[in-house]
Amino acid sequence: MRSFAENRRADRAAAAEQARKDAQAKLDRTLAAAAHRAAERRADRAAAADLADQRRQARTAARQAARAQVWAWFAANRVRLPIYLLAVVSAVMAIPAMAGYGRDTYGDWTGAALPALSELGMWAFALAVEVTRHRHPDRPVWALQTGVWLFAGVGFGLNVLHGLHRGWDAALVMGIVSVAGVVAHQIAVAAPRRSREERLAAKVAADAARIDRAAARKVAKVRTAAVRDAVAEIDADGSARLVFTPGRYTLARTVRGRVLTGVIEPPAPVADVLADEIGAWLATQDQPSESADDTPIADAPVSTLDRPSEQRKSTPRKRTHPTPKTRTIGQLRDEFAAAIEDPNVPIDPASAESIRKALKCAPKAARQLRDEYKADHQ
């Protein structure tokens, strides 16, 4: 049994050990928290570095895209840019001169608006020509071009009048300067030269459009003439409608206007006509003919003449075939239906040859009846 002193020393040792463990655990927690904070700071710095790198790459890509767009714009407008620079130079030289000339002519600042007529007018039409040709290539621009050259002539004339008090050389220079920009614009930008393939494609499209317009105009004229010649049909309740006569017509010009004149229907193809006639003739040969020509000749005494010169020459009798009976396809359908219902008529509805022999019709009609029968019984 331990004494009190030993127990107290044991308790003190246990307390010291517990204090040491608590201190160690606290130190471990402190170190873990510090390590965690350090890891978080490292992760934050890495994320910030990645974000900065992404932003730097994005700024670099944006600058490259902007440079590419600028170069692409310059490449696409390498013709327009010098022309518009020429137009700006022409305007800088002509507009102030025209403003001063207008002020001197009108005697006040109202005349300073004269460049709007002499310079801006032709440029408004010139830009309209360019926009129309790029957005609507199929639209005609002759009216806009007329406005361009009309206002260019006005500007040229006003500038020549302005420069006449200094001499003809100054007048011509001022007139040429005023229209140089718009002339260059119309030649190089508004109406650039096209390749041979593009011109051919444009011509083909223009020809097709012209033919379509001509066809539409003729259809409208034909419909107008058809309405003029139509017959009115009035019902019992008083409602009316126009009745037209179908067919093929041409437009003829008469005193009372354009009228419709019927044309002869084109004949059927020769091959079909021959096939129908041959089939009809073959149909007549299926049954034996009982004419007098086919009956056997009875034995009769033959008398001969003593002199051959007195014998009568025999003339062979020409055999004539009866004219085949012409029936419509509707009549053949009725006969075909009756033959199918009649048990005494040997006919196979699925065989064109059997139909031809039974109805004595052309092969073409027999094939049509067979196809109709198969279509109805599928």
- DSSP secondary structure string, 45-114? HHHHHHHHHHHHHHHHHHHHHHHHHHHHHHHHTTTHHHHHHHHHHHHHHHHHHHHHHHHHHHSSGGGGGT
* pLDDT tens per residue across all 378 residues of the chain: 567 777 788 888 888 888 888 888 888 899 999 999 999 999 999 999 999 999 999 999 999 999 998 888 888 777 778 888 888 888 888 888 888 888 888 888 888 888 888 888 888 888 888 888 888 877 888 888 899 899 989 889 988 888 888 888 888 988 888 888 888 888 888 776 667 887 788 788 888 888 998 999 999 988 888 888 888 888 888 888 888 888 888 888 777 677 777 776 555 555 555 666 676 667 666 544 444 444 444 444 444 444 445 445 545 555 554 555 577 888 888 888 888 888 888 888 888 888 888 888 888 888 888 888 888 876
Kindly tell me the burial class for residue 221, based on how many C-beta atoms sit within 10 Å of its own C-beta (0-12, 13-18, 19 or more): middle
Predicted confidence at residue 62, as pLDDT, reads: 92
Predicted confidence at residue 291, as pLDDT, reads: 42
Locus of tokens 């308790």: 11
pLDDT tens string 102-153: 888 888 888 888 888 888 888 888 888 888 888 887 788 888 889 989 998 9
Predicted confidence at residue 53, as pLDDT, reads: 92
Q: pTM of the predicted model, to two decimals?
A: 0.44
Neighbouring residues of 311: CB distance < 8 A, sequence distance ≥ 6: 304, 305
Give the per-residue SS3 of 328-374. CHHHHHHHHHHHHHCCCCCCCCCCHHHHHHHHCCCHHHHHHHHHHHH
Predicted confidence at residue 192, as pLDDT, reads: 65
Predicted confidence at residue 6, as pLDDT, reads: 79
**SS3 label, residue 256:** coil
Predicted confidence at residue 271, as pLDDT, reads: 59
Predicted confidence at residue 285, as pLDDT, reads: 61
Other residues' Cβ atoms within 10 Å of the Cβ of residue 133: 17
**SS3 label, residue 225:** helix
CA dist 174 and 168 (Å) reads 10
**SS3 label, residue 243:** strand
Rounded to the nearest 5°, which phi and psi values hold at 350?
-90, 0
CA dist 205 and 194 (Å) reads 15
